[in-house]
Every structure is written in C-alpha cells, then in structure tokens.
Amino acid sequence: MNQYPDKVTPLSYPINDLLAKRWSPMAFSDKAIEKEKISSLFEAAKWAPSSFNGQPWKIIYAEKENKEEYDRLASLLVEGNDWAKDAYLLLLICASKNFEYKNKPNKHHQYDTGAAIENLFLQAVSMDLVGHEMAGFDSEKAYKLLNIPEEVSVLAMMAIGYPGTPSDLSRDLQERQNAERERKPIEKFAFKGKWKQ
C-alpha cells in the first residue's frame, strides 16, 4: 500500500482516517461492487454543498456486468489509463453549466461537482473500495457517444473498485503506484491575511 506518507509533520489533530486512507492506485480487482454500496456512493455525492444548492453534478456510470455500457465508457479512456478497465465501476463526471432556475449560468458548477466527487470518493474509501480520477479520456467522443447536451461540461472519469493485486500490473505501473506521494508544504497554499508570492 502507498498511503498517507508517514514523514508528514506530526499534528496534534491528525487528519481524519478516511482522508489519510484515500489515494489513487492503479491496481483494481474486477470483483463486483454490491448494489447497496453503489447507491451509497451516489447518496454521498448528493449531500455535497453547492452554490445556491444547485447540485449541478451529473454522473454517467457503468458496471462491468453490463458489458455494452461498460465498454462504451471504457472506449473513452486514453491508452495510458488502460489500467482503469480492470475496475468494476467506471464513471463519467459531468456538470450542468446553468442553474435549473431561469437557466442562468452557474459560475461554480465545476467547483460544486468537485466537492460532490470528493464526497463520493471518501464514501468509497469508507466501504473498503479504492478510486482513481482521470482527465485522460476523449471528452469530444463522450458528447457524441453518450448524447450529452452542449449545456453540460464533461469534466473527468473515475474508476472505482475493490483493490487489486499490484504485482499483476506492468512493471511501469507498479513503479508509478509505488512512487512516493508528494505534496506541497502548507505555506505554499495557505496564506495568512494576504496573497504571498
């Protein structure tokens, strides 16, 4: 496992276990995810905060047991993300650009959808699943293949499943999966009072 790095500064209040456990592996088992767990993933997304409670997220998903639907989503992935085709569940994450109310533009549709997907991700981790988000897919093809209206932003894909066996991955992917996880120090992004170069 390549989880929360142990070299972080010791904290009086350690981050929540769920946050510490979340990571993005590439080894997935194709074991089926229970339907109840899939429902809970979407329930978790549902309770995310959003601007004017607009809830702009839209998720197209496919389970491995439904080959036609699954292959359709899998066909969007770039070659570098082929490892995701082992995962039982694939998601295409989209967001409505406009509020339902008077169809006014929603400046925060992407922001809100990111929050919903992090909810979903953490819910997955709480149910012993792993996930991995992806920008490497053909979004133009997604619009055509899945009849997605222009009014919607196609944002990302995600693989979710039970953890797989890392030694089943190619050597290259094993190296990527085992690479040390890097993060910027807090002072690079949290500025007290005003912007800091």
Ligand X SMILES: Cc1cc2nc3c(=O)[nH]c(=O)nc-3n(C[C@H](O)[C@H](O)[C@H](O)COP(=O)(O)O)c2cc1C
Binding site for ligand X (CB under 6 A): 23-24, 81, 132-136, 156, 181
Amino acid 51 reads: S
Nearer to ligand X, 1 or 43 (CB): 1
CB of 129 to ligand X, least distance (A): 14
Nearer to ligand X, 23 or 32 (CB): 23
DSSP H helical segments within the chain, as ranges?
A: 17-21, 35-46, 67-74, 109-126, 139-145, 171-178
CB of 35 to ligand X, least distance (A): 26
Rg of the chain over Cα atoms, rounded to whole angstroms, equals 18
CB of 47 to ligand X, least distance (A): 20
Nearer to ligand X, 99 or 164 (CB): 164
* Tokens read off for 91: 């998601």
Whole-number Å distance between alpha carbons of 55 and 176: 35
Nearer to ligand X, 49 or 80 (CB): 80
